[in-house]
Structure 1
Amino acid sequence: METGELVTCTYKTGRYIGKLIDPTPAKPTSVVQILAVLRHPVQGDLHQPGQTDVALFQERKALAFNEKANIPDTHLKPYSGDVPDYNESLIRAVELFEEGLVNEHSPFADASLQALRSLQRDYRLKP
């Protein structure tokens, strides 16, 4: 892949559309500038997914608009299509994540919803 190419990528548990800024063949990672959110990151402890009895149930924010992240090359795929507005994509990703949690009815889903609602205030998506 080449500099300036649009890609989809995963970072931790989120999925994004971005622009390849620094593809470095000698390294196993490339720098990607984030343009849109496809899937909001999962909340909680990544090492103990689905668990609420952990030392820290972490709130995980989506990467910000134009934020640059080092993404493993194995997590990059070419993207062709329109790039949605970042804020609209974030709202949609949060709504999809929230819908899934509301229908899950578990302690993990409840804790994730609480963390997500806190993030919505940080994102200024809800009062």
Structure 2
Amino acid sequence: METGELVTCTYKTGRYIGRLVDPTPAKTTSVVQILAVLRHPVQGDLHQPGKTEVALFQERKALAFNEKANIPDTHLKPYSGDLPNYNESLIHAVHLFEESLVNENSPFADASLETLRSLKQDYRLKP
């Protein structure tokens, strides 16, 4: 892949569309500029997914518009499609995540929904 190319990538548990800024063939990661959100990151402890009885139930924000992240090359795939607006993609990703949690009916889902309420205020999204 080359500089300027659009890619999909995963970062922690989120999925994004971004522009390849610094492909580094000699390394195992590349710098990607985030342009849209496909899947909002899962809340809580990454090492104990689905658990609420952890030392810290972490609030995980989506990467911001134009934020640059080091992404493992194994998590990059070429993207060919229309590039959605960042804010609209974030709203859509949050709503999809919320819908999946509402139907789950578990302590983890309840804790995740609570962190999402807080994040929506940070994102300035309607509750």
1:33 aligns with 2:33: yes
Q: Which runs of 5+ in 2 are unaligned?
A: none
The secondary structure found in structure 1 opposite 2:69 is strand
Number of positions where the alignment pairs a residue of Structure 1 with one of Structure 2: 127
Superposition CA RMSD, Å = 0.6
Q: Which runs of 5+ in 1 are unaligned?
A: none
How far apart are 1:126 and its partner, in Å? Answer: 2.0
Amino acid at match of 1:39: R
Amino acid at match of 1:26: A
Q: What residue number does 1:10 align with? A: 10
Segments ≥4 residues shifted beyond 6 Å: none
Cα separation, 1, equivalents of 2:105 and 2:115: 15
What is the TM-score of this pair, normalised by structure 1? 0.99
1:50 aligns with 2:50: yes
Q: What percent identity do the matched residue pairs reach?
A: 88
Cα separation, 2, equivalents of 1:34 and 1:24: 17
Cα separation, 1, equivalents of 2:27 and 2:117: 37
Cα deviation, 1:40-76, whole Å, max 9, x if unaligned, reads 0000000000000000000000000000000000000
Q: What residue number does 1:114 align with? A: 114
Amino acid at match of 1:4: G
The secondary structure found in structure 2 opposite 1:105 is coil
